[in-house]
Structure 1
Amino acid sequence: MLAAEFLASDDAEHLSDPSAASRCADHIIDYGCEQDFNRPLRVSPIKCETFLLDWLPRKVMLSEAEQEAMPHVLAAWVRFAARRTGLPEQGLKATLDAVWEAIGKFPEAYRDPTTFGLDRALLERLLPDGDLSALARRAFAFPYLQGTHNGIDLDRLDPADPADRRTLLEIDHDAGMDQEHLAWHEEIASRLWDGDPPQLWEAAQRLLDLGHDRHDVLHVLIEIVERIGGHPDELAAALDDIADIPDEF
């Protein structure tokens, strides 16, 4: 409702792409709710700069249209929010000045993943929620998403879909793997997809940085999750304690 009110306001009437503006407004509201104690209408120079140059580049995959629209939508949002909250003119001016200064840095701060040679269609399959911070862990969980395997077109499989997810994991692992072990691989892949808990991917990265094989890393994660069971605090602590793969593993 807040986004709709903004898009219908005089402050947003100059925005030329309503669809991109709507998605940008959603991101601004999400940021205010998640990072500023449910205060999307609170605007300040530091908050706007942090949103544009830090949070967005880390968290959100923007389309080309959204990248172009975002700075202008943010400036319009500042004006809209200032009227709604009664922000003094001096505060409005300082915030707009900060937005316009940050706009010059935005193209450098926000690096579209497609500029690194990643296919946008593939990115959209890995990031249906647009959560850019999830890209690395999801690509680790599902490394085979393109090409064909035994007549299966991998490009048509959706890693967010449970049935397709199992097919992708069967292709990734030994065809003769028993179903119970495959189910544990599915558990780890699902947890990595969701980032639950965050310590799971952090532990995987530490082991990968030490030069360990992806296959061995996955089996260490499985062993820990299977041993700890459904105790989130204990699981997080056990994952935090992983410094290397034991020799006897």
Structure 2
Amino acid sequence: MNTRYPGVSLRRWLAPALSVAFLAACDGGPEAKPDGGRRALEQRSEGRLEALRVQVDVARNRLWALHRDGVYVYEITTRRLVGRVVLPEWIIVGEPFNCAPDLALDPSGAAVVSSNARTVLWRLDPERFEVRRGELALDADRDKNVGFTGLAFADGLLFGVDGIHGSLWKIDLAAAKAEKIALSSPLRGACGLVLRRGAAQAAPGLSLALCAFGETRIRRIDVSSDYKRGNVSDGPCP
């Protein structure tokens, strides 16, 4: 299966991400060879270029890859596998029925993994790789099979998008609950979620701007300061 991340094949997405990581992590001297290191890491991954999601943590010299059999963690500079975690009771619905689950890194370096079929999250400790499973209580749509096809940390909060129903959620990991954000239009088909960075992220009176990526569309969501409403548009989302 040719798994895609916001409409881009993993091989095409992985190459620049790893090159940036190697350039940032290496000394940059004449012996530094980011491209060669990337190829070695791909080979060390035993050909697992069918990964569902990849996150690069340059600050901690790590690459996280989500696969159907668990999460693999690599040390970037040595291309060494430093951890593998099996996600207990993980449920995934494959393409073409839904986008892949997501993998996001919080400010501490811990990884959070979603299911695209259930409102359950798995948190992986960044040091010991211990996994903690948590089922979220929803304040709406309890009659639906909600899952998250995109996760993003912003303003110290976690946001999740459901690509099937097009809903956006503010997630409280500590309280194990998710609150639905009222949107001006649904985000159906969203396969990824990121914080829009820049000097003027959100419009006046709003808190932040998120970008939802799909196979054919990129949409911007301006979230209100109370995190209860979101205006969806085709505005700029670099």
Does the pair score TM above 0.5?
no
Higher relative contact order (CA 8 A, sep 6+): 1
When you count strand as a share of all residues, which structure comes out higher? Answer: 2
TM-score, normalization: structure 1?
0.30
When you count helix as a share of all residues, which structure comes out higher? Answer: 1
TM-score, normalization: structure 2?
0.31
